[in-house]
């Protein structure tokens, strides 16, 4: 009985501490709820659960009994000592921050940086970095092409020659001629014809060079007399001074002319190497073109292989139509202008006709250059009246070409806007000279065909991937027979 008062006193002290702890937890939970702090709410709930499961410290329990004081009262625990500041333990920091007063200004949350950028700026940035990547890729490609310019031009020339000769190989194959023999006959005959044309041009130039030189001197004399009698008041001293300045310029630049001649020898060797490379490439393209195309398709990723397999034959048909049509148009131009030059007694009529044929492969620009060359030769050798007649012939043939021959022969196979032609010829000439100007327009035409087909193919694939309509929607898009084509009375529709 002597321990009963001590036990009752300890029980009362434990209940008091337990009630104080519950009150503190309730206050913290209310403060956290008012502040809207989820972390503090979770801590309060955790402490509530811990306090709800624990009971008051009952003396006599294991590890919960506190020794009584000298007056028989229970001594306070470490928590009570820390709360009063009398114990050695330091004070605990507050577990929650009180809510701000109602009069404090509200602080708005910062918006997402992505949402803060305007939509137009984001679209421009997306397009900008993609354009930069494409520009870098094109620059690298241009550098590679420039470093191997001879190989690229030889391969492109071989493609153009193959597009011209391949229909002959196909015609021989349809006549049951073996592939090797058909390729050999076409290759040999094609290059023999081109070689004979080149030899004929050189022979005509060498045969007429003396008479042309004398006529040029006579023309210069006539031009000098015309300038002296013209209303421009040109004196003979001024003309002699101009001639002397030209002679001095030629004498001062002798070293430059000599180095240019040496460079010309190097260019001749490069041209011969390019011709041989183009011949071998043409031979293999004529014989094994389909296998080469199949091997190239294997290098393409599987997702894009089907589209490129369909775009390749269409691009080849466009290139074949362009080369064939350009050859026919150039031949007609050369024949008609050559006949006009021959009847007007202009020297070098046949070489000038060949130059007109070759320059016709440069659209728009080539016709102007070849026509101007024919007019200058006729002006120097035959006079102003003959030059005007030659100009009339050239303009008439070019009008016939632009309004009749090209629309009829090329048709809708090659559809390129004149502005695209001018820009592509200018860009090709700046990048690779005359060869680039020749290749630019067929490259643009083939690219236009490939892009158009791939756009239509992707649109068709998107329609195929679209789920089929069903229910009431399917009735609106279902095919219905046109009037007069449906089943008659008594006739069952096909199942």
The per-residue pLDDT for range 47-56, each reduced to its tens digit, is 555 544 444 4
Lowest mean pLDDT among 101-105, 174-178, 454-458: 101-105
pLDDT in tens, 378-410: 887 777 888 889 899 888 888 887 777 777 776
Distance CA 37, CA 31 (A): 9
On average, the pLDDT of the chain sits at: 74
DSSP summary character for residue 404:
I
Q: What percent of the chain has pLDDT over 70?
A: 68
Q: Please tell me which residue, 279 or 202, carries the higher pLDDT value.
A: 279
Q: Is the pTM of this model over 0.75?
A: no
What does the CA dihedral 426, 427, 433, 436 come to, rounded to 10 degrees? -110
HSE-up of 113 (CA within 13 Å, CB side)? Answer: 0
Please report the pLDDT score of residue 468 as a whole number: 63
Structure tokens at 111: 């918006």
Using the predicted structure, report yes or no on whether residue 357 has a pLDDT greater than 70.
yes
Give the residue from 415, 433, 344, 343 showing the smallest Cα distance to 381: 344
Please report the pLDDT score of residue 64 as a whole number: 40
Using the predicted structure, report yes or no on whether residue 130 has a pLDDT greater than 90.
yes
- The length of the chain in residues reads 495
Using the predicted structure, report yes or no on whether residue 133 has a pLDDT greater than 90.
yes
Please report the pLDDT score of residue 301 as a whole number: 84
Please report the pLDDT score of residue 95 as a whole number: 61
Distance CA 294, CA 311 (A): 13
Is the separation of the CB atoms in 424 and 442 below 8 Å? no
pLDDT in tens, 245-293: 766 665 555 555 455 555 556 777 888 888 899 899 999 999 888 889 8
Give the residue from 368, 430, 432, 373 showing the smallest Cα distance to 157: 432
- For the ranges 25-34, 148-157, 427-436, the maximum mean pLDDT occurs at 148-157
């Amino acid at each position: 009985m002597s321990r009963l008062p001590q036990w009752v006193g300890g029980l009362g002290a434990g209940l008091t501490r337990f009630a104080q702890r519950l009150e503190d937890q309730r206050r913290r939970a209310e403060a956290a709820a008012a502040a809207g702090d989820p972390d503090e709410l979770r801590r309060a709930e955790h402490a509530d659960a811990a306090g709800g499961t624990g009971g008051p410290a009952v003396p006599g329990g294991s590890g919960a009994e506190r020794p009584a004081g000298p007056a028989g009262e229970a001594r306070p625990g470490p928590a009570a000592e820390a709360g009063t500041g009398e114990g050695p333990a330091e004070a605990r920091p507050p577990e929650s921050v009180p809510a701000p007063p109602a009069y404090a200004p509200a602080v708005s949350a910062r918006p997402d940086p992505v949402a803060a950028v305007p939509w137009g700026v984001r679209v421009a940035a997306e397009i900008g970095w993609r354009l930069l990547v494409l520009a870098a890729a094109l620059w690298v490609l241009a550098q590679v092409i420039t470093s191997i310019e001879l190989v690229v031009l030889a391969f492109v020339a071989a493609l153009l020659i193959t597009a011209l000769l391949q229909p002959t190989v196909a015609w021989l194959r349809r006549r049951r001629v073996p592939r090797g023999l058909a390729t050999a006959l076409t290759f040999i005959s094609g290059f023999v014809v081109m070689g004979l044309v080149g030899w004929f041009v050189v022979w005509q130039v060498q045969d007429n060079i003396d008479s042309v030189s004398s006529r040029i001197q006579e023309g210069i004399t006539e031009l000098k007399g015309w300038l002296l009698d013209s209303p421009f008041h040109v004196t003979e001293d001024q003309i002699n001074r101009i001639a002397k300045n030209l002679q001095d310029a030629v004498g001062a630049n002798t070293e430059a002319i000599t180095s240019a001649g040496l460079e010309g020898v190097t260019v001749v060797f490069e041209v011969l190497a390019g011709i041989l490379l183009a011949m071998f490439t043409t031979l293999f393209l004529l014989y094994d073109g389909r296998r080469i195309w199949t091997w190239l398709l294997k290098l393409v990723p599987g997702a894009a292989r089907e589209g490129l397999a369909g775009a390749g034959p269409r691009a080849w048909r466009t290139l074949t139509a362009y080369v064939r049509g350009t050859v026919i148009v150039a031949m007609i131009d050369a024949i008609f202008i050559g006949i006009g030059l021959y009847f007007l007694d202009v020297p070098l009529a046949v070489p000038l006709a060949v130059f007109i044929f070759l320059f016709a492969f440069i659209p728009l620009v080539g016709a102007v250059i070849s026509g101007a060359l024919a007019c200058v030769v006729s002006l120097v050798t035959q006079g102003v009246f003959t030059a005007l007649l030659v100009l009339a012939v050239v303009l008439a043939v070019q009008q016939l070409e632009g309004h009749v021959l090209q629309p009829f022969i090329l048709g809708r196979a090659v559809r390129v806007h004149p502005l695209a032609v001018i820009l592509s010829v200018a860009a090709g000439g700046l990048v690779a000279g005359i060869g680039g100007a020749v290749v630019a327009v067929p490259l643009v035409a083939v690219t236009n065909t490939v892009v158009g087909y791939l756009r239509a193919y992707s649109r068709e694939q998107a329609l195929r991937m679209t789920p089929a309509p069903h229910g009431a929607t399917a009735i609106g898009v279902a095919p219905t027979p046109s009037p007069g084509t449906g089943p008659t009375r008594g006739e069952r529709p096909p199942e």
